[in-house]
Amino acid sequence: MTAPGDDRLRLLLGGLDAAWEMLDARLTGRAPFQGDAAVDTDTDLTDDEYFWEPASGCWSIRRRGDAESSMPWGSGEWVMDYERPAPQPPPITTIAWRLCHLAQWQLMRYDWTFGSRSLQVEDISWPGTARDAVAFLRDSHKKWRTALAETTPDDLDTVGRSQMPNGLDPSVRFDDLVAWTNVEFAHHAAEVALLRDLYRARFRA
Q: 95-114, pLDDT tens digit by residue? A: 999 999 999 999 999 999 99
pLDDT tier, 38 (very low <50, low <70, confident <90, very high otherwise): low
Q: Which of 46, 54, 92 is nearest to 201 (CA)?
A: 54
Question: What is 134-189 written as a DSSP string?
Answer: HHHHHHHHHHHHHHHTT--HHHHH-BTS---SSSSGGGSBHHHHHHHHHHHHHHHH
Q: 158-188, pLDDT tens digit by residue? A: 999 999 998 899 999 999 999 999 999 999 9
- Kindly list the structural domains of the chain, giving each domain's residue range(s) and its CATH number in brackets, ordered by start: 8-55+95-201 (1.20.120)
Q: 144-153, pLDDT tens digit by residue? A: 999 999 999 9
Which carries the bigger pLDDT value, residue 204 or residue 85? 85
Q: What's this model's pTM, rounded to 2 decimal places?
A: 0.92
157: left (phi over 0), alpha (psi -120 to 50) or beta: alpha
Whether the Cβ atoms of residue 177 and residue 8 lie closer than 8 Å to each other? no
Q: What is the mean pLDDT of residues 27-53?
A: 84
* Residues 205, 202: Cα–Cα separation, whole Å: 8
